[in-house]
Amino acid sequence: MASAAGSSPSFDPADSSAPGLNKPASEISPIRKFLQSRGSSAALDKAFAGLMVVCALTIFAIVALILFELVMRSRLSIAKFGIGFFFKQAWDPVSGQFGALPFIYGTLVSSLLGLLIAVPLAVGVAIFITEMCPKPLRAPLSFITELLAAIPSVVYGLWAVFVLVPLLREHINPVLAKFLGWTGLFGGPNYGIGMLAAGVILAIMILPVISSLTREVMISVPHSQREAVLALGATRWEMIRMGVLRNARIGIVGSIILGLGRALGETMAVTMVIGNRPEIAKSLFAPGYSMASVIANEFSEASDDLYLSALVEIGLALFLVTIVVNALARLLVWAVTRGTPARVS
Amino acid sequence: MATTVYKTSPYNRISRQLADYAASGLSILSTVLVVAPLVAIFLYLVYKGAGSLNLAFFTQVPKPVGESGGGMANAIFGSAVLLLIGSVVGVPIGIAGGIFLAEFGRGSRLANAVRFTADVLNGVPSIVMGISVYSLIVLPQKHFSALSGGVALGIMMIPTITRTTEEMLLMVPNSIREAALGLGVPNWRSVLAISLRTASPGVITGCMLAFARVAGETAPLLFTAFGNQFWSADLNQPIAALPLQIFVYAISPYDEWHRLAWAGALVLIVLIVVSVALVRYVTSRGVLKGAS
């Protein structure tokens, strides 16, 4: 929900797809300009404007400072291990050997697993809410999905530890092992905690992000598209597929990537259920470790400088990856919700 | 080719109809699957939390392992302190950033860059925020402190507040600003007393959204506020926080601590749900009624 703040909840969506969205924004009347540039208050006005600019620039400064600090604190490990840091599997604080591969693997696998579960569900929910849902249900449903987004990560973790993990261990994992055990993905000892539990809790957590953005993108598809497809005799599903999903697909991809960004950086809930063992195992039942959770677990007990700087380097990698992922997602979502006419292909 | 494809055979019609039903069924099913965990989490939380909530929870500090009873009074207080510091840091910068975007930088390249950076900042994982603030404030000071935790939360509040403030200010009609200027009001006063005032319900909403979001943050506090088993109001000392305490108790092996974790989670979630519902109520009423 917080990340959806970028696109106004209160704008009329029909408006935002119209070409003249910035109409009131770009025109400042000459009279106003004249009045502003004159009179005793001009100096004060300039000072005020300057103050606002400084505050806005603070945001740049913060991001720059974060980057600077991360690079500075991790230079020890960057200098020692170089690029090989990301391809090595060893994680041995005692002998001073650090490699981030198990954590990268854990983060990627748990996030992709989360996406795999969440995306179909999220798109289904968005379709239901925008295209099928009876009107009185619409507001409560979107409220509920918003609430899911507002639940703190640590509460999800708490629930996962005491409800989800036992559920997986007792009921779901045995079934998976029985029917899909031959793939090798669902074998080995079944602790409950592990990669699969992390994937499921991540799916629950990123669902609302993806579904609320997908909903927004789908709403911004003009009604004429739907009506045109219906007029050709399409069923409702064909209307959704050809009239809505096809036009909104870039935005939907954007919202999925945004969900990925969220999943990559998710810390607390994952830390509580992933098992925290720096190993790469094929089975999804096996415990793993993620980049965020290794920082959360080991940062405050990192005794020597190299250890600390290796952990900060993992943080730096996480920071850069999430920036790229988020920027990409934003651009894609903006491309759809911002006045570009729907393309018919 | 077209004519053959669209020649309606009964089979074709039935299969299309079936696909339609299947799609409807699947989307309804997925909605149920999404709503179910929320309801499950919430009911379970109320069930577990309500059983463990008592007066002691709000008035006592944690007891040592093995003793029953005790509460999280210090964590609730600590969270309040941290959120207060966070608001002091985040709200003014956030609102000023929003004012810049909506009133001064409209359409300029700088404004686009600020907007984009705010979105980037919004996506920075909270754990990364934690280690940055750790190396910025905690390392030079050489000890964990409430102040550093509050600053971390404040930074996380900025992007949300900036973007909502901007959006709300953009909804204020230009005619109101021009009327103020026409009466001889200086621009800075027109921005503060006319634009910002008109948009204030929406701006407050944005602040509360940001507040609710950081209220449950644990990761940035791990290496900044650090947590504390005792009362502390010293900004230069480690301080307890509700989400931190829940985390520590949840992964502990003691039943008594699990009980407290559930109670804490319930308190946290009630706080957040109430503020989200309030926000929703305010926005659904029409933020700028009468203004536009």
Query: How far, CA to CA in Å, does A286 sit from each of A12, A115, A279, B9?
Result: 48, 19, 9, 52
- 3-class DSSP state for residue A120? helix
Averaged pLDDT score across all residues of chain A: 83
User: Could you tell me if residue B14 is inside a domain?
Assistant: no
What is the structure's pLDDT at B283?
A: 66
- Whether residue B199 is predicted with pLDDT greater than 50 in this model: the reply is yes
User: CB distance B126–A267 less than 8 Å?
Assistant: yes
How far apart are alpha carbons B245 and B264 in whole angstroms?
8
Mean pLDDT (whole number) for A279-288? 89
Residue-wise pLDDT tens digits, B18-46: 999 999 999 999 988 888 877 888 888 88
How far apart are alpha carbons A109 and A196 in whole angstroms?
9
What's CA B145's distance to the chain center, in Å? 22
How far apart are alpha carbons A302 and A90 in whole angstroms?
16
Residue-wise pLDDT tens digits, A74-120: 999 999 988 889 988 888 888 888 889 999 999 999 999 999 999 99
User: Could you tell me if residue B6 is inside a domain?
Assistant: no
> Is the Cα torsion angle B185, B187, B192, B194 positive or negative in sign?
positive
Quote the crossing angle between the two packed helices A305-337 and A291-298, to the nearest 10°: 140
Within 10 angstroms of residue A216's Cβ, the number of other Cβ atoms is: 24
Domain of B131, CATH number, reads 1.10.3720.10
What structural domains and CATH numbers belong to chain A?
101-337 (1.10.3720.10)
User: Could you tell me if residue B190 is inside a domain?
Assistant: yes
A51-60, A120-129, B283-292: lowest mean pLDDT where? B283-292
User: Could you tell me if residue B24 is inside a domain?
Assistant: no
Buried b (16+ CB within 10 A) or exposed e, B90-103: bbebbbbbbbbbbb
What is the structure's pLDDT at A116?
A: 95
Q: What is the DSSP string of A278-293?
A: ----SSTTS----HHH
What is the structure's pLDDT at A21?
A: 41
What is the structure's pLDDT at B227?
A: 85
Q: Looking at the predicted complex, does its ipTM rise above 0.90?
A: no
Within 10 angstroms of residue A303's Cβ, the number of other Cβ atoms is: 9
How far apart are alpha carbons A98 and B46 in whole angstroms?
43
Residue-wise pLDDT tens digits, A232-262: 988 899 999 988 998 888 889 988 998 999 9
User: CB distance A147–B273 less than 8 Å?
Assistant: yes
Mean pLDDT (whole number) for B49-78? 83
How far apart are alpha carbons B221 and B131 in whole angstroms?
9
User: CB distance A73–B38 less than 8 Å?
Assistant: no
Quote the crossing angle between the two packed helices A305-337 and B109-123, to the nearest 10°: 120
Residue-wise pLDDT tens digits, A60-69: 999 999 999 9
What is the structure's pLDDT at A270?
A: 94
Q: Which of A29, A59, A238 sits opposite B117 (nearest CB)?
A: A59
User: CB distance B128–A121 less than 8 Å?
Assistant: no
User: Could you tell me if residue B32 is inside a domain?
Assistant: no
CB B81 within 8 A of CB B233: yes
User: Could you tell me if residue B222 is inside a domain?
Assistant: yes
Residues in chain B within 8 Å Cβ distance of A123: 30
CB A296 within 8 A of CB B127: yes
**How near does any CA of chain B get to the CA of A90, in Å?**
23
Within 10 angstroms of residue A1's Cβ, the number of other Cβ atoms is: 20
Residue-wise pLDDT tens digits, A190-245: 888 999 999 999 999 999 889 888 988 888 888 898 999 999 988 899 999 988 99
User: Could you tell me if residue B242 is inside a domain?
Assistant: yes
Q: What is the largest distance, in Å, between two alpha-carbon atoms of chain A?
A: 82
Q: Which of B114, B122, B216 sits opposite A154 (nearest CB)?
A: B216
How far apart are alpha carbons B120 and A267 in whole angstroms?
18
Mean pLDDT (whole number) for B48-70? 81
Q: Are strands A91-92 and A97-98 parallel, antiparallel or unpaired?
A: antiparallel
User: Could you tell me if residue B85 is inside a domain?
Assistant: yes
What is the band of A122 on the pLDDT scale with cuts at 50, 70, 90? very high
What is the structure's pLDDT at A295?
A: 93
- Whether residue B204 is predicted with pLDDT greater than 90 in this model: the reply is no
What is the band of B70 on the pLDDT scale with cuts at 50, 70, 90? confident
Residues in chain A within 8 Å Cβ distance of B127: 265, 267, 292, 295-296, 315, 318
**How near does any CA of chain A get to the CA of B174, in Å?**
7
Structural domains counted in chain B? 1
Domain coverage including residue B63? 59-284
- Both tokens of B142, joined, read 């050489």
How far apart are alpha carbons B278 and B282 in whole angstroms?
6
What is the structure's pLDDT at A198?
A: 95
